[in-house]
Structure 1
Amino acid sequence: MDTTFPRLLLQHAAHRPAAAAMREKEYGIWQALSWRDLAQLVEHLACGLHRAGLARGEHMVVIGANRPRLYATMLAAQALGAIPVPLYQDAVAAECAFPINNAEVRFALAEDQEQVDKLLEIRDQCPQLQAIWYDDPRGLRNYQAPGLAALDTLLAAGRAYAAEHPALFAAEVERGAPDDVAAMFFTSGTTGQPKGVVHTHRSLLDRARAGADFDHLTDREEVLAYLPPAWIGQNIFSYAQWLACGYVVNCPESAGTVMIDLKEIGPTYYFAPPRVFEALLTTVMIRMEDAGAVKRGMFHAFMQLARRVGPALMDRRPVGLLDRLAYGLGDLLVYGPLRNNLGFSRVRVAYTAGEAIGPDLFTFYRSIGINLKQLYGSTETAVFVCLQPDDQVRADTVGVPIKGVEIRVADDGEILVRSPGLLRGYYKNPQATADVLTPDGWYRTSDAGFIDAQGHLKIIDRVKDVGRIRGGPNDGALFAPKYVENKLKFFPYIKEAVAYGDGRDRVCVMVNIDFDAVGNWAERRNLPYAGYTDLAQKAEVYELVRDCVEKVNADLATDSRLAGSQVSRFLVLHKELDADDGELTRTNKVRRGFIAGKYQELVDALYGGKTEQFIATQVKFEDGRTGTVSATLRIMDARTFAPVQAAA
């Protein structure tokens, strides 16, 4: 799109001034902000920032959850030609220092006391950070740090400055160009320091528009913005597409009220990583197991019908009259109430991405009438590379290339992408930029995959992670750890899995159980436990996990390419993997190499034939304190299967 974010804001304010742009839930009540009021708010913030000295081309950090005034601040910075840099609100203070110093940030907006505390904690490391404004004043009344002020103070100054210079804002917006840098997003840093991904107005808005056209989005959509704004997925759905389409973005009251807010809003356009859909389904299944026999029986009977008929109806394939009538009855009694309970009664398009989603999970949502689809993209591609057309939705692909995208598969299986949405480069990192962008404009995704006969893209794993088994009966066999991990995570009882096997004679796995799902399973069997560590090491839980592992092995045995990736041994970790402990990225991706080093004694025990291993691990609590979790972990063998030819 040949425009900028602030220009789109002013267009909406001119053409639909009274229409709702955003809603925020405060004290249990939804408050609407019109396009006209939003434009005025942005103007006053921009004038305040201009008066404070924010310069064109300069970076400004924004850290917090989805809030209208945080979005308005990003727009205000862009209006001045400055570059907003959203940071993850759940990042610890030390993680914020590198982006702030790397981008030479002088000005920051923090949502609340928690975020202010982080910025003040690292201020000695970031001497150039001169001004911090906060949105929510609770708990900050007695703070006296230099340069710290309420956002209301900035607004008041901006309002006065705008009255004195009424033409400034419009003139600054007009100076902006589509190829100016619009935002910078820091990658999650799976293998080292995060990198600042530089995007222009053109790259972000081009992909936002391409995605909107693909799914026929209009200004009548309702979106719930509940994921971190620092993650480009949330940023595209609730910022770039919001301004491209002009629909309404709704901000929940807090992380704890998201499920309630989801039901109240009833979004028409929804996005979540597989983990969220897994958690929702786990909640449903736990409630159904606790229901009466009649209700439980009706649910399972209609769900059996839904799995057989629902996906065909969603894909507009022929379905017999009796099945249609039976499904209609099920929709009245089970599917409709279930969609409503989940908050999906109005969803027209729902997307998931970031990780593979289990076929059973995927089928469940589509079978009850939710148009759940998969997409493929990354921070560097402004998200939208491949999307699934409504009548071509499959669990094992991530869709077809959309408008403007070219895909090529390199000789080593790596997916290469060329698109108008590609990053301009990594900030202050020309070597890293040269590593991912070829001279003729192709982006190296680092993902291994192929295009199938129907033109859909299939992703196998990260190129660098695809390895080989060395030694033993499977010597030379292909090993794709992410593929194995995702298959294990398809089971509701397994939350995370970390697989090892490259250069070794067999595959071994460390598992995190899903505490809620396994806890409910244990309670229904009168199995007492005193917390996660105790539950994880129960013999019964190990048998439950082993059953999941062996089902994955049986499935892998049907794939001649990956039969050698079957899991020989596993253990259940004594603690949940946590981003605060460095084991996950802020987007909840497993840091496999870091975990291997941290738990080297467990890896050695798995491959050394031990049946148990004691370990003590330091953990970091939410309040910043540290402690130690220790346990003697069981190590169990799993049955593997001879490779068989998959059924045609």
Structure 2
Amino acid sequence: MNIYDSSQPPKQVQINGVVVSETPGERPALVDGCDTVVGLFQKRCEQLGEHTAHREKDLGIWQSYSWRDYWTHAKWIGLGLRALGLKRGEVVSILSEDRKEWLYADMGIQCVGGIASGVYTTDSARQLEYLLRDSGSRFLFVENDEQLDKFLEIEAQAGHVEKVIILDQDGLHDLRHEKCVFIDDLYDTGRAFEAEHPGLFEAEIKKSQPEDTGLLIYTSGTTGMPKGAMLSQENVISACVSGAHALPTQDTDEQLCFLPLCHILERNVSVYFPIAGKATVNFAESTETVFDNLQEVSPAHFTAVPRVWEKIYSRVLLLAQEATPIGRIAFGLAVKAGLKRADYLLEGQPVPVVTQVTYMVWDFLVLRNLRRMLGMDKMRRGGTGAAPISPELIRWYWAIGVQLLEGYGMTENAGLASINVLDSNKIGTVGKAVPGFDIRIADDGEIQTNGLNNFQGYWRNNEKTAETFTDDGWLRTGDVGELDDDGFLTITGRLKDIIITAGGKNITPAEIESRLKFSHYVSDAVVIGDGRKYLSCLIMIDQENVEKYAQERKVPFSDFASLCAAPDVVDLIQAEVEEVNRAFARVEQIKDFRLINVLLTAEDEELTATMKLRRSFVERKHAALIEDMY
């Protein structure tokens, strides 16, 4: 049964050729008359046919794939899984880097009533076993031999998995395993099943309802084992409606997909929003080639985590230092002119004529070429989220002509809660609530959200679900923040991370950690001090920028550990800590710090798959360093 009264026709409005609910947040949430993602997917594929949906490199050459390809392969996957026994409401797991087959599987699974669940490629075999067992997945997609090895390692503990579908046959042509099939075999199974059951795929799409669970996204698990967040068809369609109002997409837009598709941010940006907005998605070859692919694609909008924006900035500064003296002077003057103009724009004030003309001259001489070199010459907006970003970095991007906007969302509210937009932007905040969504601050400072984006609950965990919602139905985000008089939201930390010192002072460490991470020399930081007399900090340095600093000053080092131990490097970080301390009261200042002298990857227990430090793991593993500071 539908969760809304279809006898009351909703008001709708057209935005860039897409008709969406005029009032976001009211049922039914509609995009071009569709109240489910799978229904919208079918409509887009029928409308756009041979138009390009995706591009992917093959042997170094960009290849185009149409919406018809998208539909056909998703249909064969969905029907192939149905032939193998997939039932509506069952979970199918996907363990792969970003590629077109990820999207084919995602939509194919959902179209036949299944639930798509992504697994990070950085997860260990042990973590994979937990996710397969918790989700009850009987079918698993793996990208290649490396990911298949993880399954084979835990095969005995994952006996419930009936089939493993392999996307890439390289190195596996001689594989003989009763549970393993290649993607082409699944396509063949789907084709044969369609011949026997014509029209079944379309019928299954028609059965889908807004309240059906479409996605199972496991949270990063900073405080324990990951929990599976259930997102319904309505949750995602509602996010698409809010996105259409706040972040409109055009059918001529090109996008670059490179963040993990298991994460709700990239899933929205590269799967659901492009379906709603008819945009074309280009898959980066790898995380190492993102900057090269960015130059090749020149996307209309580009969303990334702060570390990516910081690395682009660092690259530009490095290139500027290597330029001729005249080139360095020209670059400096161009950025100075850009900053002066940006300050007016960011304050929402008209730019004086002289300032605008000066900027236009330097834009013609320097900045336009810089944006072209970066692949940002066609970019209407840039997006950043998932972690705090330096306000000065945002100013710098606006100065060079890239309008970078910060937003906020989490898995539990379909990845979209608030966003700064071009005509309503306040640096240092994550913007206002997106259309159709409400945000409030509880008495204890917690940010709480309400709207159709809010998730259904945690998979097979009613107790945690109940804890996550208030008595009046608002989502407890666990984040602490403030709303100003204009409705702009500022995030100050996590509720569970509040430190109570031995003197009884309540301190939010995230604000201090964020200020530290604004430094180009600091990758991450964990403030310590619960039950202690004063605050201390464990710091991860940014390898690339600190190595460059050391090389320029001829500081000797042989590896990462010796780099961290170098007195000049310790002094560098000491200066950064002292600079941050100036912004805080004495009781909130860091009295001592230690550098974590090992390079961490997502395979390490200290880091989540989204590269966030797990506070409890860090404190436990580096207890000796912490005690040394006290």
TM range, smaller chain: over 0.9
Alignment of 1:211 onto 2:243: yes
Match of 1:71 in 2: 103
Which secondary structure does the structure 1 equivalent of 2:603 belong to?
A: helix
Q: Summarize deviations over 1:215-266 as a string: whole Å, max 9, x none.
A: 2222222211101111111111111212222211111222322211111111
Question: Post-superposition shift, 1:110?
Answer: 0.9
Match of 2:600 in 1: 577
* Contact kept in structure 1, 2:93 and 2:116, CA below 8 Å: yes
Alignment of 1:605 onto 2:628: yes
Give, in whole Å, the separation in 2 of the partners of 1:9 and 1:402. Answer: 23
When normalised by structure 2's length, the TM-score is: 0.92
Match of 1:594 in 2: 617
Question: Post-superposition shift, 1:314?
Answer: 6.0
Question: Post-superposition shift, 1:6?
Answer: 2.4
* Contact kept in structure 1, 2:346 and 2:426, CA below 8 Å: no
Question: Post-superposition shift, 1:392?
Answer: 2.7
Give, in whole Å, the separation in 2 of the partners of 1:354 and 1:13. Answer: 31
* Contact kept in structure 1, 2:54 and 2:280, CA below 8 Å: yes
Give, in whole Å, the separation in 1 of the partners of 2:323 and 2:564. Answer: 26
Higher mean displacement: 232-241 or 386-395: 386-395
Match of 1:527 in 2: 555
Question: Post-superposition shift, 1:295?
Answer: 1.7
> Which among 571, 575, 581 is matched to residue 547 of structure 1?
575
> Which among 502, 510, 513 is matched to residue 541 of structure 2?
513
2:534 partner amino acid: R
Match of 1:293 in 2: 325
- Counting aligned pairs with the same residue, the percent is 33
Question: Post-superposition shift, 1:555?
Answer: 2.1
Match of 1:432 in 2: 464
Moved beyond 4 Å, runs of 4+? none
Question: Post-superposition shift, 1:57?
Answer: 1.0
* Contact kept in structure 1, 2:274 and 2:281, CA below 8 Å: yes
Alignment of 1:397 onto 2:429: yes
Question: Post-superposition shift, 1:434?
Answer: 0.6
* Contact kept in structure 2, 1:26 and 1:253, CA below 8 Å: no
1:487 partner amino acid: R
- Aligned residue runs from structure 1 range 62-461, under 5 A: 62-313=94-345, 317-461=349-493
* Contact kept in structure 1, 2:347 and 2:426, CA below 8 Å: no
* Contact kept in structure 2, 1:208 and 1:384, CA below 8 Å: no
* Contact kept in structure 2, 1:185 and 1:198, CA below 8 Å: yes
1:599 partner amino acid: H
* Contact kept in structure 2, 1:252 and 1:261, CA below 8 Å: yes
1:603 partner amino acid: I
Question: Post-superposition shift, 1:321?
Answer: 2.2
Give, in whole Å, the separation in 2 of the partners of 1:114 and 1:262. Answer: 27
* Contact kept in structure 1, 2:346 and 2:425, CA below 8 Å: no
Higher mean displacement: 152-161 or 282-291: 282-291
Match of 1:501 in 2: 529
1:181 partner amino acid: T
Q: Summarize deviations over 1:480-516 as a string: whole Å, max 9, x none.
A: 2111111011111111111112322211111111111
Give, in whole Å, the separation in 2 of the partners of 1:302 and 1:496. Answer: 31
Question: Post-superposition shift, 1:155?
Answer: 0.5
Match of 1:631 in 2: none
Higher mean displacement: 45-54 or 289-298: 289-298
Structure 1: state its 5+ residue gaps: 558-562, 608-648
Structure 2: state its 5+ residue gaps: 1-29
Give, in whole Å, the separation in 2 of the partners of 1:305 and 1:589. Answer: 36
> Which among 40, 44, 58 is matched to residue 26 of structure 1?
58
Which secondary structure does the structure 1 equivalent of 2:55 belong to?
A: strand
1:533 partner amino acid: A
* Contact kept in structure 1, 2:122 and 2:602, CA below 8 Å: no
Which secondary structure does the structure 2 equivalent of 1:145 belong to?
A: coil
1:28 partner amino acid: G
Which secondary structure does the structure 1 equivalent of 2:65 belong to?
A: strand
Q: Summarize deviations over 1:171-210 as a string: whole Å, max 9, x none.
A: 1111111211111000001111100000111111111221
Q: Summarize deviations over 1:402-460 as a string: whole Å, max 9, x none.
A: 22211221111111111101111100111100110123211001111111122101111
2:465 partner amino acid: T
Give, in whole Å, the separation in 2 of the partners of 1:141 and 1:55. Answer: 30
Match of 2:27 in 1: none
* Contact kept in structure 1, 2:528 and 2:535, CA below 8 Å: yes
Give, in whole Å, the separation in 1 of the partners of 2:268 and 2:343. Answer: 28
> Which among 515, 519, 535 is matched to residue 491 of structure 1?
519
Which secondary structure does the structure 2 equivalent of 1:433 belong to?
A: helix
Q: Which has the higher contact order (CA 8 A, sep 6+)?
A: 2
Which secondary structure does the structure 2 equivalent of 1:86 belong to?
A: strand
* Contact kept in structure 1, 2:346 and 2:427, CA below 8 Å: no
Match of 2:591 in 1: 568
Which secondary structure does the structure 2 equivalent of 1:492 belong to?
A: coil
1:339 partner amino acid: R
* Contact kept in structure 2, 1:375 and 1:399, CA below 8 Å: yes
Give, in whole Å, the separation in 1 of the partners of 2:498 and 2:340. Answer: 35
Match of 1:619 in 2: none
Give, in whole Å, the separation in 1 of the partners of 2:599 and 2:370. Answer: 30
Give, in whole Å, the separation in 2 of the partners of 1:454 and 1:314. Answer: 15
Give, in whole Å, the separation in 1 of the partners of 2:628 and 2:366. Answer: 48
Match of 2:16 in 1: none
* Contact kept in structure 2, 1:408 and 1:415, CA below 8 Å: yes
CA 1:6–1:587 in 2, change beyond 3 Å: closer, same or farther? same
* Contact kept in structure 1, 2:421 and 2:431, CA below 8 Å: yes
* Contact kept in structure 1, 2:494 and 2:510, CA below 8 Å: yes
Which secondary structure does the structure 2 equivalent of 1:580 belong to?
A: coil
When normalised by structure 1's length, the TM-score is: 0.90
Q: Summarize deviations over 1:39-75 as a string: whole Å, max 9, x none.
A: 1222222221111111111110111111112211111
> Which among 75, 90, 94 is matched to residue 58 of structure 1?
90
Match of 1:482 in 2: 510
* Contact kept in structure 2, 1:9 and 1:35, CA below 8 Å: no
Higher mean displacement: 77-86 or 459-468: 459-468
Question: Post-superposition shift, 1:164?
Answer: 3.0
* Contact kept in structure 2, 1:27 and 1:253, CA below 8 Å: no
CA 1:343–1:297 in 2, change beyond 3 Å: closer, same or farther? same
1:266 partner amino acid: S
* Contact kept in structure 2, 1:24 and 1:250, CA below 8 Å: yes
Which secondary structure does the structure 2 equivalent of 1:528 belong to?
A: coil
**RMSD between aligned alpha carbons?**
1.5
